[in-house]
């Protein structure tokens, strides 16, 4: 990708005000807020503070306003996340519905380039691409999360992965500065994304940074063909996944040459439950909240699955979901 051809912002810049100027934050602050409503498992403890930014500039200013040692947790739809019952110290930043810009930057007879912010849902990107007669993003309709989350874990389904269509990304660091990077600056694999070791960062560069946008390069297609494919993918998802109960999608990564769901089912764990958390009867790699699950119940089921699969098959399953916060 030649970023100079497609992106006006091609350097590190800060969205913060000039030295000496004070700018009032425009976002919303919520104190001691339960994380249940912000995670797809509908379980978890309280966050000390939640910040919902008005936009990217406001988010940058907020990061500058908090102590450098304060913990920051960035959350999209919370669809790949378990917050422990003891809650979260520091601040949770909610991006879904706020960093929601999506636009077509280039379009030709052969391809197109879309820019999308991190708070946009993957499903919306799939629909937007189809509407603009671009093919290759249909699989995103099957990912129940936001673009930011999909970038962070290289989310994928049905044989396709997020970074397979990414041309460049925009990141925001702890100091409130933005930087655009080419996708080639990252090493990506199955559910893994890391900045290449030979990429040199400034000595004083903050270690924490988050994806806040991405450029997606897609081939020319047709609206009708893409919408048909999206419909087929969603039908497969409905038929194979327990979408009627709260869950976080696949709990474990598929080991090389096998499927986590098959291994879990082979151990007789479908329907296994602790408290309100149960291994789905429909898909063994899903743990569902049957109505009153605590985060501790879910984590206990995860631990039991790991133990039994390792004991029977010798395979150590790696978690796909993130677990954060303090136990109660």
Active site residues: 191, 250, 320
Residue 22 forms beta bridges with which residues?
A: none
- For 51, half-sphere exposure in the C-beta direction (CA atoms, 13 angstrom radius) is 23
Reported in sequence order, the residue ranges of 102-151 that DSSP labels E, i.e. its strands, are 102-107, 111-117, 134-135
Contact yes or no for 90/71 (Cβ under 8 A): yes
Give CA torsion, residues 245, 243, 320, 154, to 10 deg.
-140
Contact yes or no for 169/215 (Cβ under 8 A): yes
Give CA torsion, residues 15, 16, 18, 22, to 10 deg.
140
Please list, in sequence order, all residues whose beta carbon lies within 8 angstroms of the beta carbon of residue 274, skipping any fewer than 6 positions away: 297, 300, 301, 304
Q: How far apart are CA 83 and CA 106, in angstroms?
A: 40
Give CA torsion, residues 80, 85, 86, 88, to 10 deg.
30
Contact yes or no for 73/91 (Cβ under 8 A): yes
Contact yes or no for 212/117 (Cβ under 8 A): yes
* CA angle in degrees (0–180, nearest 5) for 68-196-116: 70
Spatial CA neighbour of 216 closest among 70, 117, 146: 117
């Amino acid at each position: 990708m030649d970023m100079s051809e497609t992106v006006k912002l091609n350097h590190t810049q800060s969205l913060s005000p000039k030295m000496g100027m004070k700018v009032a934050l425009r976002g919303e602050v919520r104190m001691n807020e339960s994380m249940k409503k912000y995670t797809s498992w509908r379980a978890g403890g309280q966050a000390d503070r939640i910040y919902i930014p008005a936009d990217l500039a406001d988010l940058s200013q907020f990061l500058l306003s908090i102590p450098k040692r304060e913990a920051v947790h960035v959350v999209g739809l919370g669809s790949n996340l378990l917050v422990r019952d003891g809650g979260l110290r520091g601040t949770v930043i909610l991006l879904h519905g706020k960093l929601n810009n999506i636009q077509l930057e280039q379009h030709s007879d052969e391809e197109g380039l879309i820019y999308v912010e991190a708070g946009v849902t993957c499903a919306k990107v799939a629909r937007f691409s189809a509407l603009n007669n671009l093919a290759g993003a249909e699989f995103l309709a099957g990912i129940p999360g936001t673009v930011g989350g999909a970038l962070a874990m290289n989310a994928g389904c049905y044989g396709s992965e997020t970074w397979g269509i990414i041309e460049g990304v925009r990141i925001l660091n702890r100091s409130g500065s933005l930087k655009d990077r080419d996708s080639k600056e990252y090493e990506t694999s199955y559910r893994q994304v890391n900045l290449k070791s030979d990429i040199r960062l400034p000595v004083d560069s903050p270690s924490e940074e988050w994806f806040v946008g991405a450029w997606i390069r897609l081939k020319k297609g047709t609206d009708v063909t893409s919408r048909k494919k999206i419909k087929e993918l969603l039908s497969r998802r409905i038929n194979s996944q327990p979408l009627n109960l709260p869950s976080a999608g696949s709990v474990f990564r598929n080991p090389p040459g096998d499927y986590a769901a098959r291994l879990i089912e082979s151990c007789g764990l479908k329907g296994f439950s602790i408290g309100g958390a149960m291994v789905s009867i429909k898909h063994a790699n899903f743990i569902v909240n049957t109505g009153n699950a605590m985060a501790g119940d879910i984590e206990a089921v995860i631990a039991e699955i790991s133990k039994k699969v390792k004991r029977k098959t010798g395979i150590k399953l790696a978690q796909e979901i993130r677990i954060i916060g303090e136990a109660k």
